[in-house]
Chain A
């Protein structure tokens, strides 16, 4: 029954959909919601919005973008970037988000994870981990879009986050992000084996076949893709077909 979820990830800066490499050197791709609608129509199982400048409120803010997306996109949305308080989370949920993803503020104050989980349920609380390799099979969690070290071991932090109430882990490999070299399988496997909640693998997808490795060897429950979709290198449907052909169960989508 374990259906692997195919998730479109949209990184946002101000009013724009952007994309970088290693979360840096950001390029403007276009209007986020035009792309969101395209991915919804391709049959994305979920969308993830991540704001890299952490502007939650006001015009052209993350909340504004989500409110607009909800008008035409009828699949679950996870939203993150700059959530510092339970009130910030409540605001984004009111804007139409189904889950919130928290990184930097959770590292600074792990209690925020339990506060959000208790108020809205664990299923709403996604712990976002940006991991950088620091040795053989060792990764450190970074904050502020992969810029600052936290001193936390990524796998241990994932476990702690789940113990505090995180219902899902969004795991981004900073080393692979935007490189098209494939997912960092060993990282994904290490975290998937350490926690009992779903792990979304993010960062590095170059070709549809990369999904097979990260699911079969990395034990990912979901894969997030950005670059691959943004630059029209392929569609969600292409990935679905490759996954199905390899015996991976995915949601059937009518327009595939």
Chain B
């Protein structure tokens, strides 16, 4: 017992209150912190964030938290990145020029397609509820944070860029935007990331957080 302590990394980007409340609702004891010692001693770590990729990396580095997050990953601690926090797990991003990320999951961050599969323009950012689907080649969500999510259940997205993992095994879930698959969740060993906001996705999102807490 008492093992549901979660450190939510505070690096000045985005609304941490909702993430904190979502985790607490699922039974976690949450510390919102920028303290490396607290982060490194937590059993579970969440890297949240809303905003531009380059700004996020600057803010992480300014607090030397890029090193801390890599160390969290190296120690095998369960790490969940949300939205921008997920994108920063990758090698680099194409948002406003190329910016290096944390490199914990091989791949890059690319723009959400601005035209549909049948070549019509579509709205960017992609905002709203969209269904989670299996990426090509994946058969189920067993042993991932999406284990309790049913195919086609919708979650809430707000983004203009999305992950493109190099290794298709790291691609856990997609959503379809204009008929084109866009990465919705990625994962590699103890590192997991979701593009959608589990803390804003109603009961489906809470199931994802609950699963994270039980790891």
Contact = CB atoms under 8 A, between A and B. Distances in A.
Interface of A: 1, 3, 5, 40, 43, 45, 67, 70-72, 74-76, 93-96, 98, 121-123, 167-168, 196-198, 251-255
A168 B123 CA distance: 11
Contacts of A43: 202
Interface residues of B, number: 30
A191 to B, nearest CB: 16
16 contacts: A43-B202, A72-B25, A74-B18, A74-B25, A74-B199, A74-B206, A75-B156, A76-B200, A98-B15, A121-B125, A123-B125, A123-B158, A168-B127, A251-B129, A252-B153, A254-B203
Contacts of A197: 123
Nearest to A96: B17
A75 B205 CA distance: 9
Given A5-B129, A197-B123, A70 B154 contact: no
Nearest to A75: B202
Contacts of A196: 123
Interface string B69-85: 00000000000000000
Contact of A94 (B17, B51, B158, B199): B17
B15 to A, nearest CB: 6
A43 B202 CA distance: 8
A153 to B, nearest CB: 24
A43 B203 CA distance: 9
Given A95-B17, A252-B153, A123 B199 contact: no
A40 B202 contact: yes
Contacts of B125: 121-123, 167
Contact of B202 (A1, A74, A94, A98): A74
Given A3-B130, A122-B125, A123-B127, A76 B156 contact: yes
Given A3-B129, A197-B123, 16 more contacts: A1-B178, A3-B128, A3-B154, A70-B21, A72-B25, A74-B202, A75-B156, A96-B15, A96-B17, A98-B18, A123-B127, A123-B158, A167-B127, A196-B123, A198-B128, A251-B129
B56 interface: no
B53 interface: no
A168 B128 CA distance: 12
A95 B17 CA distance: 7
A76 B201 CA distance: 8
Contacts of A74: 18, 21-22, 25, 199-203, 205-206
Contacts of A252: 152-154
B179 interface: yes
A251 B130 CA distance: 8
Given A5-B128, A196-B123, A198-B127, A71 B21 contact: yes
Interface in B3-23: 15, 17-18, 21-22
A72 to B, nearest CB: 7
A94 B199 CA distance: 15
